[in-house]
Structure 1
């Protein structure tokens, strides 16, 4: 193990770069969005290795609205968070729009980490649950989800860290 407390600032930054490169080589992260990539990796890996859950595969990088697809063709949007809100969902109508939102995915997976990137919980929402819980983020001009007690009660619990 590297004792990171004894590294110089320059050594610590270099070590971070080496870790990022190794994560990319192993296919754990695929872009510069570390938290998002970690969540996608944990979600797909957990679904594929847990009996009773659909087998997921990554969608191609840059695919709009979805991050994974099940072998049955269901589309999954995966959001990661270390806080109480998810990242935003683009491509949906703004509030008070008279148009009906075209379904972009069948399920949302929310991967929750603590501030040290330790996996805490994975939950799943249906499209309908997403629609009933989404909140408008006016600055981003898109929708997101707040991790509320109501949302947690409605969601399907996929994983919880027992520690």
Structure 2
């Protein structure tokens, strides 16, 4: 079924978006209204499960802090999706003023990169050690995040990449 979006008026287009969200939820592609994050999680889990040699993942229960997927071996994955150069934040870890090592919250971070039109650019996997190396403190959110840099990408495993030069 092809719908010519240009032929729809503003109200019809808005209602189409609502219908699309309902259908995505009914199919289990998204579970909440965090559409970008949920699409990234779905694409990452689906890509891992369909790619030979990658761990088979299942979605973690909604609301599980810092963990979005689990492997059949028990490894915990945090999945962050972004259209920019900074990920969302990781809560529940030490404040930088506290000089204690972080308790390991997950084994891997999967970063899903979309372009500004939400086309998939890449999927990258970082180990806990690489996460610790690259994490940055977000003062306002009082939590950690990752800045997508060449150094971070070189320390990650490329799971999928649409283009070879993501950072121009």
Return the TM-score normalized by structure 2.
Answer: 0.94
Cα distance, 1:96 vs. partner?
2.8
How far apart are the structure 2 equivalents of 1:68 and 1:116?
A: 25
SS in 1 for 2:43: helix
Cα distance, 1:162 vs. partner?
4.8
SS in 2 for 1:12: helix
Return the TM-score normalized by structure 1.
Answer: 0.97
* 2:76 corresponds to: 75
Q: Does 1:98 align with 2:99?
A: yes
* 1:88 corresponds to: 89
SS in 2 for 1:51: coil
* 1:19 corresponds to: 20
Cα distance, 1:132 vs. partner?
0.5
**1:104-152, Cα deviation, whole Å (9 max, x unpaired):** 0000000001111111100000001000000011111110000001001
* 1:128 corresponds to: 129
How far apart are the structure 1 equivalents of 2:158 and 2:67?
A: 20
SS in 1 for 2:12: helix
SS in 2 for 1:65: coil
Moved more, 42-51 or 1-10: 1-10
* 1:3 corresponds to: 4
SS in 1 for 2:65: coil
How far apart are the structure 2 equivalents of 1:5 and 1:151?
A: 40
* 1:140 corresponds to: 141
Structure 1 alignment gaps of length 5 or more: none
How far apart are the structure 2 equivalents of 1:64 and 1:89?
A: 8
How far apart are the structure 1 equivalents of 2:100 and 2:142?
A: 16
* 1:154 corresponds to: 155
- Runs of 4+ in structure 1 deviating by more than 4 angstroms, as ranges, are none
How far apart are the structure 2 equivalents of 1:161 and 1:100?
A: 36
